[in-house]
């Protein structure tokens, strides 16, 4: 039976203080993410699911209950979110990813502007994604709640996410209150592009296999 666990962070809760305060990080990881993990395990136990691969489950999430969709998405999305943050981030992409960003969006600054626009346009809770479409090209979208481009319940914007920005209020409210735009602007100063580059290569491999 699948039993998922809360991933450990590779940095301390106060390591991203320039953007995300210690209290927000602690609550976000220990309470919100832990709740998604716990509820996902319960939902999968009720479904008698034996598949240990969360990505596989999300790719056919339409076969499952809303509890699997919401909590499976919550676990996957947050795990990706923690992995791409760093107190000593690489602030500019290089190589293939940089080339594709320029080809698709014009520049890194244009990509940031498009993601900010998507983040501000997401009504209520949700996420903003940079993802690799099944054609291999890059695209940006937003999704409500804990949905992501991997899920088969989406009719458009399907692909493999490589960068996600959490725009649920619990991700930023203690520091920014209702100023989501400020959070979206400062997010880039703790985004580690080296991690996104790795996820980009992994996404391309998955699409090609």
Distance CA 22, CA 34 (A): 17
Q: Is 170 annotated as a binding residue?
A: yes
Q: What is the pLDDT of residue 31?
A: 98
Q: What is the pLDDT of residue 2?
A: 62
Q: Give the chain's residues under pLDDT 50.
A: none
Q: pTM for this structure?
A: 0.96
Q: What is the pLDDT of residue 1?
A: 52
How is residue 4 written in tokens? 């998922």
38 contacts: CB under 8 Å, gap ≥ 6: none
Q: Is 166 annotated as a binding residue?
A: yes
Q: Is 75 annotated as a binding residue?
A: no
Q: What is the pLDDT of residue 51?
A: 66
Q: Is 98 annotated as a binding residue?
A: no
155 contacts: CB under 8 Å, gap ≥ 6: none
Sheet of strand 159-166, all strands in order from the earlier edge strand to the far edge: 138-144, 126-133, 159-166
Q: Name the nearest CA neighbour of 118 among 74, 70, 167.
A: 167
Residue-wise pLDDT tens digits, 28-58: 999 999 999 999 999 999 887 776 799 999 9
CATH homologous superfamily for 21-209? Iron/manganese superoxide dismutase, C-terminal domain (3.55.40.20)
Cβ atoms of 132 and 203 closer than 8 Å? yes
């Amino acid at each position: 039976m699948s039993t998922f666990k809360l991933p450990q962070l590779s940095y301390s809760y106060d390591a991203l203080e320039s953007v995300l305060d210690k209290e927000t990080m602690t609550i976000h990881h220990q309470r919100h993410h832990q709740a998604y993990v716990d509820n996902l395990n319960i939902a999968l136990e009720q479904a008698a699911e034996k598949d240990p691969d969360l990505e596989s489950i999300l790719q056919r999430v339409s076969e499952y209950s809303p509890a699997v969709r919401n909590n499976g998405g919550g676990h996957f999305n947050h795990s990706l979110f923690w992995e791409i943050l760093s107190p000593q981030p690489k602030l500019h992409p290089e190589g293939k990813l940089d080339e594709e960003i320029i080809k698709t969006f014009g520049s890194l600054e244009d990509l940031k502007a498009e993601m900010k626009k998507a983040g501000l346009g997401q009504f209520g809770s949700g996420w903003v994604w940079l993802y690799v479409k099944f054609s291999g090209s890059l695209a940006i979208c937003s999704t409500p709640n804990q949905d992501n481009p991997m899920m088969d319940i989406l009719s458009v914007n399907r692909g493999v996410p490589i960068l996600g920005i959490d725009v649920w209020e619990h991700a930023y409210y203690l520091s920014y209150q209702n100023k989501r735009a400020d959070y979206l602007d400062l997010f880039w100063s703790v985004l580690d592009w080296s991690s996104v580059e790795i996820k980009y290569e992994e996404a391309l491999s998955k699409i090609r296999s």
